[in-house]
Amino acid sequence: MKKLITLLLALCFINIVNSQNVDIDKSTGLVKVDDKECFYLIKTNKTFLTTDFSLQNLNKEELAYLKSTDVNTLPWDERGNYQGMFLKMTFIATTNTVNIFPDAFDGIKQLAKRLAKAKLVIDNQIDPKAERLFVISNNGKIYKEPAPMQVIINNTNPNSNSAAISSNISIKANNIYNNDEFVGSFKKSVDSVTNNTTVNIYNKDGAKVVVAKRQGNIADSDWDVIIVATNKTNQVLYNSSNPLEKLFKYLVDKSLL
């Protein structure tokens, strides 16, 4: 009996040690694990009955999209006895998918805990090993093997020929320059009623590549960046100091300009 009690106490202690303290700011979607900022879980396409989610790193770059989907769209052997809506999670870089079947009373915090427990986001990237394990353990589909995590090397040698040239954005009239090289142009408009800002952005050949929008009546709103080629929307941090230059720098760094 004493051995059983000791074993139970040991298991409780291990569970306490290994447990994570996961908090989410429901107004911003920022998720903290043990008081450390880890990722964003943003509600999108919210309707009366359904809500999609965007998993983003701390730079507001989308890493995965969780789309609310009717379970009746699944084959019988995949949905079993589950009823209602589920979340189809698609990893952006690989298009690997996994179906998440939340309990009826699960909220966004339970979803955040589930993603945090899987340790998917490390150093603002999806951990490839964690992604593969998460997909396989949840009977998901692997379409592409995740690439190894990028390692950023700080080359402090100013004379090195291999040192990358950082982007340096300047604006002249409606033209965009990177290190004094013309890379594109833009048209900006502000709605007189809503104060919402829309920026249409074109590459150096004149083709529209991005539409950026921001709500003017919300002080801490970010850019909704719509990529024309894919019709995907990413949220990009709004920087009140030189907002257009910061936005265009993001686009140049992502090779969109």
Residue 100's pLDDT is: 92
For the stretch 106-145, what's the b/e string if a residue is b when 16 or more beta carbons lie within 10 angstroms of its beta carbon?
Answer: eebeebbbbbbebebbeeebbbbebbbebbeeeebeeeee
- Mean pLDDT across the stretch 39-65? 91
Residue 7's pLDDT is: 47
Residue 22's pLDDT is: 94
Count the helix, strand and coil residues of the chain and give each as a percent rounded to the nearest 5.
20, 35, 45
- Mean pLDDT across the stretch 153-159? 48
Residue 14's pLDDT is: 42
Q: What is the largest CA-CA distance in the chain?
A: 82
Reply yes or no on whether the pLDDT at 5 is more than 90. Answer: no
Indicate the range of 50-64, 67-81, 94-108, 219-233 predicted with least confidence.
Answer: 94-108
Of the spans 98-107, 142-151, 202-211, which averages the highest pLDDT? 202-211
Reply yes or no on whether the pLDDT at 184 is more than 60. Answer: yes
Reply yes or no on whether the pLDDT at 13 is more than 50. Answer: no
DSSP state of 141: B
DSSP letter for each residue of 207-239: -EEEEEEE-TT-TT--EEEEETTTTEEEEE---
CB 129 within 8 A of CB 139: no
For 95-130, what is each residue's pLDDT tens digit?
899 999 877 556 889 999 999 999 999 999 999 999
Please list, in sequence order, all residues whose beta carbon lies within 8 angstroms of the beta carbon of residue 198, skipping any fewer than 6 positions away.
188, 189, 190, 191, 211, 212, 213
Higher pLDDT, 8 or 138: 138
The SS3 assignment for 168 reads coil
Q: What is the rounded distance in angstroms from the CA atom of residue 141 to the CA atom of residue 68?
A: 17
Find tokens 């700011």 and name the residue.
25
State the chain's mean pLDDT as an integer.
Answer: 84
Reply yes or no on whether the pLDDT at 3 is more than 80. Answer: no
Please list, in sequence order, all residues whose beta carbon lies within 8 angstroms of the beta carbon of residue 129, skipping any fewer than 6 positions away.
146
- Count other C-beta atoms under 10 Å from residue 25's C-beta: 12
Q: What percent of the chain has pLDDT over 70?
A: 84
Reply yes or no on whether the pLDDT at 240 is more than 70. Answer: yes
Residue 221's pLDDT is: 86
Side-chain-side CA neighbours of 223 within 13 Å: the count stands at 27
Distances (CA, A) of 6 to 2, 17, 188: 6, 16, 68
Reply yes or no on whether the pLDDT at 23 is more than 90. Answer: yes
- Mean pLDDT across the stretch 37-66? 91
For 73-95, what is each residue's pLDDT tens digit?
888 888 778 888 899 999 998 88
Higher pLDDT, 81 or 179: 179
